[in-house]
Amino acid sequence: MWKAKHDKDIYILFVPRRTIECDELLHKNNFFFEDKISQINMDLVPLDDDLLSLEQPDNFLHHMLQDDDSYKVYVQYSIHRLESVYGKIHHKFGIGKIAK
């Protein structure tokens, strides 16, 4: 399928997240090198000194029209990142029919 040239280094950068499926495909094609694969989480965008926004521009389309719940992973990662920086969030609230 893919042919790698041995004289060049290959680095893979996943945005917004790395998936198990991509890792499996890289293993299958002998391109999996843990030190050359990384990801950038570009989810929380600072809008002000005390305001962050979780940017998911296609969230409505994916959730409502395609019944895709993958946005929950991004919300969970974002909350975990906030807690790792600022400490445990004791009270979490959700608004809407599917908020749990």
Report how far apart, in Å, the C-alpha atoms of 16 and of each of 2, 42, 63, 91 are. 24, 6, 17, 27
What share of the chain has pLDDT > 70, as a percent?
87
DSSP codes of every residue in 53-93: EE--TTHHIIIIIT---THHHHHHHHHHHHHHHH-------
Given a cut of 70, whether residue 68 has pLDDT beyond it is yes
Q: What number is the average pLDDT over the span 83-100?
A: 83
Respond yes or no on whether the N-terminal peptide bond of residue 46 is cis (omega within 30° of 0): no
- Tens-digit pLDDT profile for residues 23-42: 888 888 887 777 788 887 66
Nearest Cα to Cα of residue 36 among 9, 16, 18, 3: 9
Q: What number is the average pLDDT over the span 59-69?
A: 73
Q: What pLDDT band is residue 4 in, cutting at 50, 70 and 90?
A: low
Q: What pLDDT does residue 27 have?
A: 85
